[in-house]
Every structure is written in structure tokens, then in C-alpha cells.
Amino acid sequence: MPISVFDLFKIGVGPSSSHTVGPMMAAYKFAAAVNDAGVLGRVNRLEVHLYGSLSATGVGHGTDHAVIMGLLGERPDMIDPSIIGAAISDLKETRHLSLCRQADIEFVWERDMIFHEESLPHHPNAMKLCAFDQDGRALLENTYYSVGGGFVVDQSQVDAKLEDMDSAEIPFDFNSAEELLALCKRENLSISQLMLENEKTWRGEQEVRDELWRIWQVMCECIDNGLTHEGVLPGGLNVKRRARQLHQRLLAAEQNTCLIATTFSAMEWVNIFALAVNEENAAGGRMVTAPTNGAAGIIPAVLHYYMKFQDGASERNVVDFLLAAGAIGILCKKNASISGAEVGCQGEVGSACAMAAAGLAEVMGATPEQVENAAEIGLEHNLGLTCDPVGGLVQVPCIERNAIATIKAINAAQMALRGDGTHFISLDKVIRTMRDTGRDMLDKYKETSKGGLAVNAIEC
């Protein structure tokens, strides 16, 4: 099934695309289904069942809160993040939930929010929602899987072996980097041009450009917010925000023009942009999945760096960057995964690093072969990266990990641009390796907070 660039870049809230954005959207869909079935007025009680990784790290990721907001009728792309805390406090105090903001239903948190240790077969990020009448009969129930990057599928789609009900036919469908490069060569198109033609299946060209520009504006707002806010991040780890202070120090130090200071300054700008985004994510702010929340700082940081320092950078460059990055994200999702709960952080930070490297190479004038090479370098050097968030929070090591990956992405683009596009290991082989490595990786290293830094950081 075709994947749009707008499936990868979704406006939502922090701290996690798979644990916050996806569950909120699933609950929103369930609430809408109850309403559409005409049984809203008969619902007496609701149950929320969380499984696998959604259960293991759901509290730290705000999964429980996200599900409640979805049941209230809130969408992740439309919600004001500032209302969540008050809404949850009110529900816990009154023990009443307004389903779709219409039907007042008793909801006892300790009874109706149920965390299960087991996982369901299809995916480790699973949740089941049930609506009952006053006699305890099930009016409607469905199981949803948050498969990474805010993508959600329900049980009917799983049974039909579909992850996307979109049956549109795009002009240049590709399932591998080899096919993508062959199409670009045959049609004499850059990767961004080919992606634009595919996107026109769903939207007019100007709408595609306008929507990508809007995505970019939300990314910029997230950076600006991260450079403004300070204090301690929520969750109990007492992690201090650093982006604002580092930004102020960098502005004060930029008069030093020696070579090493200039190099350090370039690295610091990118680091600060990434930290700003991921601190906002950890605080539950408004985000863009890129392709996930846990890796949301890499693409905005690299693109913001380009737009800030490249002479003549324009809106067109933003569009081309995101389209080329989207092509790589599609390949990662189709042939491996962008879910940390499925393949570890290599699927999140690794994919985002590859996407950012490809986007930067594209706007720097790279050939399709050089773009593919940049993506391959970016992903190859994140292979095996585990997802082991301390305390189940998207803070340690996640925030710094995004900053490190931005530098990798820029270096990967630079190395690819110095070559002619030929290289020993193809992007397709690296993506397959990521898939196989993820399958071999122990579950305790896949967003369960049961291994790695998540346990070694704890002092007993």
C-alpha cells in the first residue's frame, strides 16, 4: 500500500509517537465508532487494556493520558497540550468521563485502566478498548496496534493483512532503493521530484507544498519553544532543560572566529536545535513525528541549520528536503520498521538520521545515487542501537541521542557528496540488516525499560 510523506510527518504531541500519538488516535477512532454505531447513549462503562510495550512504559510515555484524551474526542493533531493535565485530574477526581464530549460515563482509573504484562501477537504496542452497557454486555470492542510513527491499525486491518486501507495507485511506486533509483534514472527526476509526483495522487501540487511548509512551521515553533522554556522536565528523573542556556552561551561566544571555534559553533547550533525539540517532546509539547517523536529532533535540527546558514535557502528547499527524507522513511517503514518497540532505537533514530542525511544531500544538489549513499551511511552507523529509556521516559538517553545523530546525518551527507554515489553496501542491504537485527534483539532492549541504561542507571 502506498505511504504518503504526510503519514511520516504528522503534527501531534509529545512524548512518543507510538505511545502517545498513536494511542490517542486509536481512542479517538474508537469513540467515533461508538458514536457512528448509534450506541453512545447506551454506554455505561469503558475499559482500556494496554499490552506489551504500551503497558511496560505507558505511564512514562503518557499512554494512559493519551487514551483518555482520545476518548474525550481529542485528536493528536488538533489538541492543545496544555489542557491534558487538568482533564486527567478532573477525571480522576470525579470518576466520570465525557465520551466524545457527549455521554457522561463512570470511569474508575484503578479499575478501568488495565495494564497487562503479556504482549499480543501482531505488535508489542497493543491496546484493546471495550464499551459496555449497564448490564455488562459488550456494545463495541476493538484492538488497535500502534506500529510506530503515529501509524495505527485495528484488528480488522491486521486480519486482512493490511496496514493501510488506502488503495490509491501512485505513478511511481517503489519498494526498494534500487527501484527508486531506477525510476529516477528512467524518468530523469530527482528523488524529491519523483516524490512530489506521487504526492499529487492525493493533493494538488500547491497543497502539497503548502502542507509541507505548514509542517515546517510547526517544527520551527517547536525549536523556538525549546529555546525559550527552561526548568526541570516532568517524570521524576529531574532532568534539566539545557537548550535555552546553551543557546544563550553560544550567542555570546560567537565573536570568536578561530577555525576550531567556528567548527564547534556549527556543531553546537545543530546540537541545540535537536535538544530544543526533544526537550519540548519530553515535556509533552506540540511536535511533528519525523518519523517518530522519540527521533523528532534530527530532521528539524538539520533542516533548520541549513535554512539558517545557507545563502539563498528558500521554501522550495524545505519542500525538497522533506520529500527526499520522506522517500527514505517510506523504505525504512516498508522493509523494516520505524518502531523502537519492534526493532529498537535503530528504527527511530537510525531511520531519522538516514532521512535527514538524504534531505540535506538533496538540497545540496546531490544526484539520486548520492542521496541514497547519504541515507545508507546515516543508517549503517546506527545499526544495533537499542531502545532503553530510563524510567520509561523519552529523556535519557533519547534527548542527547537525537543531537548526536544530527551530526552523523550532516557528516553522512558530506561524505556522500564527496563521492560519485557508488559504494560497497547498498541502502537496501542496510535496511534489511536493521530488520534482522531488530528480530534478533532481546525484547528488554526494545522500549520496555527492562534492560540496558534503563536498569543500569538505577542505583539500588
Separation between Cα atoms, residue 20 and residue 240, nearest integer Å: 22
Mean pLDDT of 428-453: 97
Torsion-angle region of 235 (φ positive above 0: left; ψ -120 to 50: alpha; else: beta): left
Query: For residue 33, how many other CB atoms are within 10 A of its CB?
Result: 15
**pLDDT surpassing 70 at residue 263:** no
Cis before 234? omega within 30: no
Locus of grid cell 457527549: 102
pLDDT number for residue 266: 83
> What is the set of domains in the chain, with CATH numbers?
17-159 (3.30.1330.90), 177-456 (no CATH)
Collect all residues with Cβ–Cβ distance below 8 Å to 187 and sequence separation of at least 6.
172, 194
**pLDDT surpassing 50 at residue 168:** yes
Burial class (CB in 10 A: 0-12, 13-18, 19+), 373: buried
Collect all residues with Cβ–Cβ distance below 8 Å to 89 and sequence separation of at least 6.
none
pLDDT number for residue 252: 86
**pLDDT surpassing 50 at residue 23:** yes
Q: In which band, very low, low, confident or very high, does the pLDDT at 391 lie, cut at 50, 70 and 90?
A: very high
pLDDT number for residue 458: 66
The pLDDT mean for the chain works out to: 95
Cβ atoms of 338 and 291 closer than 8 Å: yes
**pLDDT surpassing 70 at residue 370:** yes
pLDDT number for residue 280: 98
pLDDT tens-place string over residues 264-314: 778 899 999 999 999 999 999 999 999 999 999 999 999 999 999 999 999
pLDDT number for residue 1: 77
What is the rounded radius of gyration, in angstroms, for the C-alpha atoms of the chain? 22
User: DSSP letters of 275-327?
Assistant: HHHHHHHHTT-EEE-SS-STTTTHHHHHHHHHHHHSTT--HHHHHHHHHHHHH
pLDDT tens-place string over residues 307-361: 999 999 999 999 999 999 999 999 999 999 999 999 999 999 999 999 999 999 9
Q: Which residue has the higher pLDDT, 185 or 1?
A: 185
Cβ atoms of 119 and 444 closer than 8 Å: no
Separation between Cα atoms, residue 280 and residue 400, nearest integer Å: 13
The H or E element spanning position 125 is strand 125-132
pLDDT number for residue 460: 42
**pLDDT surpassing 70 at residue 78:** yes
For the chain, the residue count is 460
The H or E element spanning position 245 is helix 243-253
Task: Give ∠ CA 164-27-83 in degrees, rounded to 5.
Answer: 125
**pLDDT surpassing 80 at residue 163:** no
**pLDDT surpassing 80 at residue 74:** yes
**pLDDT surpassing 50 at residue 76:** yes
Cβ atoms of 87 and 109 closer than 8 Å: no
Task: Give ∠ CA 163-282-101 in degrees, rounded to 5.
Answer: 65
Percent of all residues in the chain with a pLDDT value above 90, rounded to a whole number: 93
Q: How many Cα neighbours within 13 Å face the side chain of 286?
A: 19
